[in-house]
Every structure is written in structure tokens, then in C-alpha cells.
Amino acid sequence: MAKVFVFLEGNNQDLKKGSLELLTAAKASGREVVAGLVGPGVKALAPKAAHYGAQTTFVCDAAELGHYNPETFTDAVTAMVKDSGADVVLASSSVLARDLFPRVAARLDSGVASDCTILKLDGGTVTVRKPLYSGKCTAEVEFVNSPVKIVLMRPNQLPVGQPDAAATAQTKDFPAPAASGKIKTKDLVKGSSSKTDLAEANIIVAGGRGMGSAENFKQLEDLANALGATVGASRAVADAGWVPHSMQVGQTGKTVAPSLYIAFGISGAIQHLAGMSGSKVIVAVNKDGDAPIFQKATYGLVGDLFELAPKLTEEFKKALHK
Ligand SMILES: Cc1cc2nc3c(=O)[nH]c(=O)nc-3n(C[C@H](O)[C@H](O)[C@H](O)COP(=O)(O)OP(=O)(O)OC[C@H]3O[C@@H](n4cnc5c(N)ncnc54)[C@H](O)[C@@H]3O)c2cc1C
């Protein structure tokens, strides 16, 4: 039976939503599903991989894999893909995967398509669609003469299936590859936010230059807390130092695709739209009725955000926390 290898990523001792989406798609394809996990403590995630469709899970679980190292991760994942015999590899288009999989593809003499939004796995053919030129157009890409087809999907594009708590999978351990020592991550400093990462968030409340100051972002934090959302920002705001660059959405920031994106005081420059136009519902709040963001918005509120943000927060609190 044809096989698909799914590279899984975890967060806070759980599989990321993007990984569950990929397992669901792999299972629905009717192929045999082999999952791969790399990092310290990842073996604990193997049962959940089975619940979502993995029939076999390859595990490279070692303390020295705590910090991403392109050399050791490339060795580990290449060994897993070769061992699996899969001709299709799926991974989330995360920062880690976009660094890792071109290296794996080179080892396997194969093609890789990143940042994909649509995946078709029909028999032996793999076709994907991906945005180009900051989302001005999309391209359909088919793999030709590629022994292994590597697809990196944007998170939040595919449904997550119902888990089968009774499902079990075989696991196979892989040894941690030896590091060449060419590079070494010495320290990793975590950000202060306990919120869901922007790229994975289901709801995003974002602020632009119209917020006026760093302090005013408190209003968006309040709204985000009421909604269970993550706060994002335009580049103008990150460049001004009001928020860290990790919160920037757009061409040179993060690409997001939440169910709901609420933009406050963001004009809608093409570079910002490039990062968020895949959102399912876009709400724009801007005092300028001609702001370009309204052309992309599902719903628009023309008015002063300092009046509208607190009102929205109150209404959402009433509606959601009765
Ligand atoms: C190579 C390159 C890459 C870039 N990458 C990115 C990127 O990744 N992400 C990104 O965001 N930008 C990016 N930019 C910058 C982009 O071109 C814009 O400059 C930026 O997005 C503007 O941010 P803004 O909408 O917050 O600010 P502005 O364009 O200044 O818009 C502020 C908006 O707030 C509204 N406003 C003001 N006060 C209020 C109020 N009280 N109530 C309601 N509305 C109000 C105004 O009407 C206005 O529409 C990039 C630019 C370049 C050249």
C-alpha cells in the first residue's frame, strides 16, 4: 500500500493543531500513515498520533535534540522518510519545517512545495495550490519526476477529524544522529506570551498604527482575553517598538489563517494583506471609510477604534461568559 509520512510538531506536551490536520488528511487519503516525531520527550505524543490516524510512529527522542539543529534534524528525518518507504511527506509550513525540509528534499533528490493552502492526494498524484507574489495570485503545483513529494501546508487550512481513543500504533525508535559541531544553539529564551502562537491561532485581534501607542494595546489584550484570541500587529507598529516583531503579521512577518481576524487601525497595505488574507472572516475597524482593508473585509466598522474596541469587548464578554 502507498504510504504517506507525516512530520509532527508538538507544543506544551501536545501535538500542534496543524499536525492533527495533516494526520486527518493523510488518513482520509486511504494511504498507510507513518508519523515522525523528533525531540526530547516526544515519545509521549505517539499515542495521540495514533488516535488521529498514524499506523506507525517513528520516534527520535533524545535530550540533545531539545534545540533545533538543522544538521541533526535533517539526518533524523531523512532516515525516517527512507525507512518508511513513503513517497509523500506532509509537514506544517512552520518556521522549523521551512528550514528543515529543503535540506531533507536535497538528500532525497526530491521536490518540496511550501506554504500550500490546498492539498489534493489522488492516487499517485499530488497537487497543491499555494499563494504567490504576496497573495496576488495562486499557483497550482504538481510534482514531476520527484521520487518523494514533500508538501508543507499552512496550518488552519484543513479540518481535524474525530480522534479514535481506542486506536494504537506501532512505534519504532531511531537513535539521535551525532552532531558535527559546526553549529550549536547555546540558549533559547522563551517569549513571555502564554497565548497560542499567531500561526496556529483560531482568532486574532490585530492592531496597527491607528492604536496610537504601545499602552493602547492593553485594549486589544482585553478584547483578546474575552475572545480567547491572540494579539497581532502591523509592521508599522512593530517597527515603532510598540510590540515585539514576533507579533508582526504580513509579508515579512507571520502568515496567519485564523477563523476570525479583527483588524483595528490597520490601513490594509498589500504587505499586511499578504499575511492575513487567508483568514476565513475578516473584520476591519477603521475611521477612514476608504481604507483599503475594507476591500478585503467580510465586515467593516467605520469609526473610532477607541470607542468601538471597549464596546466590542463588553458585548463579547456578555455573550460568551454569561
Ligand atoms: C518590503 C516591505 C515589507 C513589508 N512587510 C510588512 C508586513 O509584513 N506587515 C505589515 O503590516 N506591513 C509590512 N510592510 C509595511 C506596509 O507597507 C505598511 O506600511 C504597514 O502595513 C502600515 O501599517 P498600518 O496599517 O498599521 O499603518 P497605516 O498605514 O499608517 O494605517 C493606520 C490606519 O489606522 C487608521 N486609524 C488611525 N486612527 C484611528 C482610530 N482612532 N480609529 C480607527 N482607525 C484609525 C487610519 O485611518 C489608517 O488606515 C512592508 C513594507 C515593505 C516595503
What's the mean pLDDT when you consider all of the chain?
94
The CATH number of residue 249's host domain is: 3.40.50.1220
Longest dimension (CA), the chain: 60
Same domain, 27 and 152: yes
Q: Give residue 201's identity as a one-letter amino acid code.
A: A
Output the residue whose Cα is nearest ligand 1's atom 26: 208
Instruction: Answer whether 307 contacts ligand 1 (Cβ < 6 A).
Output: no
For the chain, what percent of residues have pLDDT higher than 70? Answer: 98
DSSP state of 164: -
**Is 190 within the bounds of a domain?**
no
Same domain, 168 and 219: no
pLDDT tens sequence across 39-56: 999 999 999 999 999 999
**Strands 281-286, 299-302: pairing kind:** parallel
Output the residue whose Cα is nearest ligand 1's atom 30: 209
Q: Is the dihedral of CA 246, 248, 213, 211 positive or negative?
A: negative
Instruction: Answer whether 252 contacts ligand 1 (Cβ < 6 A).
Output: yes
Question: Which residues face 152 on adjacent strands?
Answer: 91
Same domain, 85 and 211: no
C-alpha cell at 221: 489584550
Same domain, 251 and 306: yes
Domain count, the chain: 2
The CATH number of residue 91's host domain is: 3.40.50.620
Q: At what angle do helices 217-227 and 305-320 cross, to 10 degrees?
A: 20
**Is 67 within the bounds of a domain?**
yes
In angstroms, the CA 317 to CA 185 distance is 43
Test site for ligand 1: of 237, 287, 306, 312, most ligand atoms within 8 A of the Cβ: 287
Same domain, 157 and 284: no
Same domain, 266 and 167: no
249 C-alpha vs ligand 1 centroid, how far in Å?
Answer: 11
pLDDT tens sequence across 262-273: 999 999 999 999
Instruction: Answer whether 286 contacts ligand 1 (Cβ < 6 A).
Output: yes
Of the candidates 33, 52, 278, the residue with the CA atom closest to the CA atom of residue 159: 52
**Is 290 within the bounds of a domain?**
yes
Of the candidates 205, 170, 151, 222, the residue with the CA atom closest to the CA atom of residue 54: 170
Same domain, 86 and 148: yes
Output the residue whose Cα is nearest ligand 1's atom 39: 210
pLDDT at 192: 62
* Mean pLDDT score, 279-293: 97
Same domain, 10 and 109: yes
Task: Supply the range of the domain harboring residue 225.
Answer: 198-320
Count of alpha carbons within 13 Å of 4, Cβ hemisphere only?
Answer: 26
In angstroms, the CA 258 to CA 236 distance is 21
Write the DSSP assignment of 292-317 as a string of letters. Answer: THHHH-SEEEES-HHHHHHHHHHHHH
